[in-house]
Structures are given as C-alpha cells and as structure tokens.
Amino acid sequence: MGHYITVEKDVNVYVEDVNPEGQETILFIHGWPANHKMFEYQFIQLARLGYRCIGMDCRGFGESDKPWEGYCYDRMADDILCVVKALRLQHITLGGHSTGGAIAIRYMARHSGYGVSRLALFAAAAPSLIQRPYFPYGLNKDDVLNIIKETYTDRPKMLQGFGDMFFFQYITKPFSDWFFQLGLQAANWATAAVAAAWLDEERLFSDLGKINVPTLILHGIHDKVCRFPLAEAQKEGIKHSKLVPFRFSGHGLLFDERDKFTKELAEFIEECNFL
C-alpha cells in the first residue's frame, strides 16, 4: 500500500506500507542515493514474520517530490516527524541505512525520539562520513567533492562507481543494473545537495549522546563507504547500544548477508520487548 504524506507546503513524500496489520512497526529510512525499494527483501522477510514495514522515500529521491531545497539533516528529520505523526506511529523501530542512519540519529536528537522505542543503524554514516582532524576514519573530503562534481557532469558514471564500492559479495549484472536504476530515480540536485551535507554536518557527534532507546548497530567490516570504525564510534557514543559486525559484508550488508540482517533485526526487536 503506497501513499503520499505532505511534509511542508507543496512537498509530499512517498510512503510504502507493507503488512499494515503487523503487530510491530519498523520505519525504514534509505541511504543515499537510493529509495525505499532497497529494502524490498527485508520487507518480504519481515512481513512474513508478522512485522509492519514502512519504507519512506526521502525528499528528492524515489517517488517523493523533488524540491530544489530542503536537503539538510534537520529538514529531512522533520520530514520523518511528519510521517510518524501522519500515520500515528507509536513504539516503533526506526531503522536507517547509511545517510538514512545519520538522519535517523538526527531525528532522535532533534525530536527526542518521538514515537520511537528502538533504533537500528545499518552501516550508518555517523558520526562523520568524511575525515576530520579529530576523526580520521571517514572518506577523504576530495573524494566527496568529486562525487558532487560528477553528479553534475556524469551522474551515471558516478553512480556506477558508487555501486562498485557498495557490495562485498558477488552480485549479478541484472542486480547491479537494478541497483543503478535506484540512484537514477533521484533528482541530480538532491543527490548533490545531500552529498554536500556530508561535508558540513558535524553535530552528529553530540547527537549520539542524546539517544536514550535501545540501539542496534549492524555494520559490515569490509565497508568501503562508511568504514567500520564509524560503527565503533556509534557504539561508544550511544548508551544501551549493541554492535553486531557483519564479517562477510561491505556497505550493502542488507544484500550481502540478507538472512543474517533479518535475523539480527527481528531478534533485537523481540529482545527489547522483554526488557
């Protein structure tokens, strides 16, 4: 079941609601530059286990509206709040992949985790995607600047290069083509604007300490985009957090080890219910 939710004047985001009658709700926030379809395997596996799975396309991506502005973490966290309130969601698990994980963290800090009982971070781009003088574990700033430049000059080439970094295990050519198309569904200005936000966003370091719900951190040890030390920094900064390394995964752990991904997420939710 898909529908649109208005998040501000003339801006609507697309939401896919799978198994609306499920007893437990998981709201998924996709990574850059994809959309909710990246979770299609999790939707079917988790729905079969009785979960309600909601996939939201961030503004500028997938089937959502593509305004010229509004691609900072604060505004995108506000969009999540609009979805949570519109759907009257309570006691949910908020899950985010990569940049979606960073936005989920901002949501928890900015909106005091409204409606959220559990947080799940998948290869999250936090506390910093790029290298900083006090945090040497991220991507080189020049590499990000090149991503932005190629977005405006040869976006297909940029997306192809990103796809080559994404997976650790073998994927077929048709699967690679499908993943490539997810990125093309975004607006090029949104793709570039979110990448630019990586450069400016430093408040995630302090956001980590504001999270006060049980948090699951799933991260591939071979991740070339959000390197594994980012997960260790998340574990150190978030109270009541659990880090599960994925030893046969890169950035695309939800594809590289999809069965393990589903198992760890479902067990985490069930364990929290008994706390």
CA distance 226 to 179: 18
Q: What is the pLDDT at residue 173?
A: 96
Catalytic member of 57, 223, 241, 249: 223
pLDDT of residue 274: 77
Report which of 197, 187, 13 is spatially closest to residue 103, judged by C-alpha positions.
Answer: 197
The answer to whether residues 127 and 101 touch, using CB atoms and an 8 Å cutoff, is: no
How many Å apart are CA 101 and CA 121, to the nearest integer? 5
Domain containing residue 125: CATH number: 3.40.50.1820
- Would you state the structure tokens that stand for residue 79, as one six-digit string? 């969009």
Q: Which member of 98, 117, 128, 241 is catalytic?
A: 98
To the query of whether residue 143 is one of the catalytic residues in this protein, the response is no
Do you find a cis peptide bond into 127, omega within 30 degrees of 0? yes
CB 65 within 8 A of CB 59: yes
pLDDT of 12: 98
Mean pLDDT of the 7-36 span? 97
- In three state form, how does the secondary structure of the chain look? CEEEEEEECCEEEEEEEECCCCCEEEEEECCCCCCHHHHHHHHHHHHHCCEEEEEECCCCCCCCCCCCCCCCHHHHHHHHHHHHHHCCCCCEEEEEECHHHHHHHHHHHHCCCCCEEEEEEECCCCCCCECECCECCCECHHHHHHHHHHHHHCHHHHHHHHHHHHCCCCCCHHHHHHHHHHHHCCCHHHHHHHHHHHHHCCCHHHHHHHCCCCEEEEEECCCCCCCHHHHHHHHHHCCCEEEEEECCCCCCHHHHCHHHHHHHHHHHHHHHHCC
CA distances from 37 to 6, 131, 138, 150 (A): 20, 30, 26, 24
User: Interhelix angle for 173-184 vs 155-166, to 10°?
Assistant: 130
Range of the domain at 209: 2-273
The answer to whether residue 275 scores a pLDDT higher than 70 is: no
Above 80 in pLDDT, residue 145?
yes
Q: How far is 223 from 123, CA to CA, in rounded Å?
A: 8
**Mean pLDDT for all residues in the chain:** 97
Residues 81-136: tens digit of each pLDDT: 999 999 999 999 999 999 999 999 999 999 999 999 999 999 999 999 999 999 99
Q: pLDDT tens digits, residue range 158-194?
A: 999 999 999 999 999 999 999 999 999 999 999 999 9
Q: Nearest-CA neighbor of 268 among 214, 220, 231, 228? A: 214
Catalytic residue flag (residue 251): yes
Instruction: Tell me the mean pLDDT in the region 11-35.
Output: 97
Indicate the residue type of 209.
Answer: G
pTM here is 0.97
Q: CB–CB of 126/101 below 8 Å?
A: yes
User: For this structure, is 78 an active site residue?
Assistant: no
Residue 1: per-residue pLDDT? 77
Mean pLDDT of the region 222-246: 98
Cβ atoms of residues 163 and 179 within 8 Å: yes
- Sign of the C-alpha dihedral computed for residues 30, 33, 36 and 42 taken in this order: negative
Tens-digit pLDDT profile for residues 10-20: 999 999 999 99
Q: What are phi and psi of 223, to 5 degrees?
A: -60, 125
Summarize the confidence of residues 65-84 as an average pLDDT. Answer: 98
